[in-house]
Amino acid sequence: MFANMVTEDARPLLRGRRIYLRPPLAHDWRAWAELRAGSRAFLEPWEPTWPADALSRFSYRRRLRLYQRDARADMAYSFLVFRNGDDALLGGITLSNVRRGVTQAASAGYWMGLPHARQGYMAAAITLVCDWSFGELGLHRVEAACLPENLPSATLLRKCGFTEEGYARKYLRIAGYWRDHLLFAVLEADARPRFD
C-alpha cells in the first residue's frame, strides 16, 4: 500500500508493498557503486557517457550535494529504490526539470541494476513517484523519454499508464551521441494501473 512519509530529517520516504524510495545518503555510496559497476554494460547504452570517476566516493558526494540543492530549490528530486525486507538497493529514479507556473510538470528518469531488472520493481517505483508527484508536489504531468530501440523501457512506460506523445530528434546525448527519443507522458487525471 502506498504511503507517503517524511523521515525525521524532512526527506521524503515513499513506501509500497515490495519497495521503498528515499533520497540517496552518503552511506549508500558503496552499495550504489557496486550495483552500478556490476550493471555497467547493461546501463551504458541508455545513459549519458560515464565520466572516468563516475563511481568514486568523491563523485558520489558531489552528486549528493547537487541532489540536495535541486530538492531545496524544487527543481529535481532523486530517489534510490530499495527492496522491503532486506533493504537491498535495486536502482534509482529521478524527477527532474520540475516546472511550475502554468505547466506543473516534471521529467522522470530511472535505472535498474541488472540483477533486479524485469522483476516489476521499476513499475512499482514509477507508481510511487507518480503518486507523490501528483499528490505532494501538486504536479499535473510527468514526462519520460527513451531511445526508440529501448523496448523494455517503452513497454514499462506504457504499462505504467504513460502515453506516447511524440518523437524528438537528437533529444539527449546518450553514450556520447545525440540520440532520437520517444516521448511519453502521464497526466494526473489519467487512469494508471497499480504496481506498488
In a domain, 58, yes or no: yes
- Grid coordinates representing 170 are 537528437
The answer to whether the beta carbons of residues 89 and 81 sit under 8 Å apart is yes
pLDDT digits (tens, 9 = 90+) for 138-150: 999 999 999 999 9
Give the pLDDT of residue 195. 85
Number of H helices, E strands in the chain: 5, 9
pLDDT digits (tens, 9 = 90+) for 6-33: 444 457 899 999 999 999 999 999 999 9
In a domain, 60, yes or no: yes
Whole-model pTM: value is: 0.92
Give the pLDDT of residue 63. 95
Indicate the number of domains in the chain. Answer: 1
Give me the domain span that covers residue 175: 3-187
Q: C-alpha angle with apex 153: 126 to 14, nearest 5 degrees?
A: 15
Mean pLDDT of 85-107: 97
CATH number of the domain residue 73 falls in: 3.40.630.30
In a domain, 154, yes or no: yes
DSSP assignment letter at 18: S
Phi-psi region of 7 (alpha: psi -120 to 50; beta: other; left: phi over 0): beta
pLDDT digits (tens, 9 = 90+) for 27-59: 999 999 999 999 999 999 999 999 999 999 999
In a domain, 155, yes or no: yes
Average pLDDT value over all residues in the chain: 94
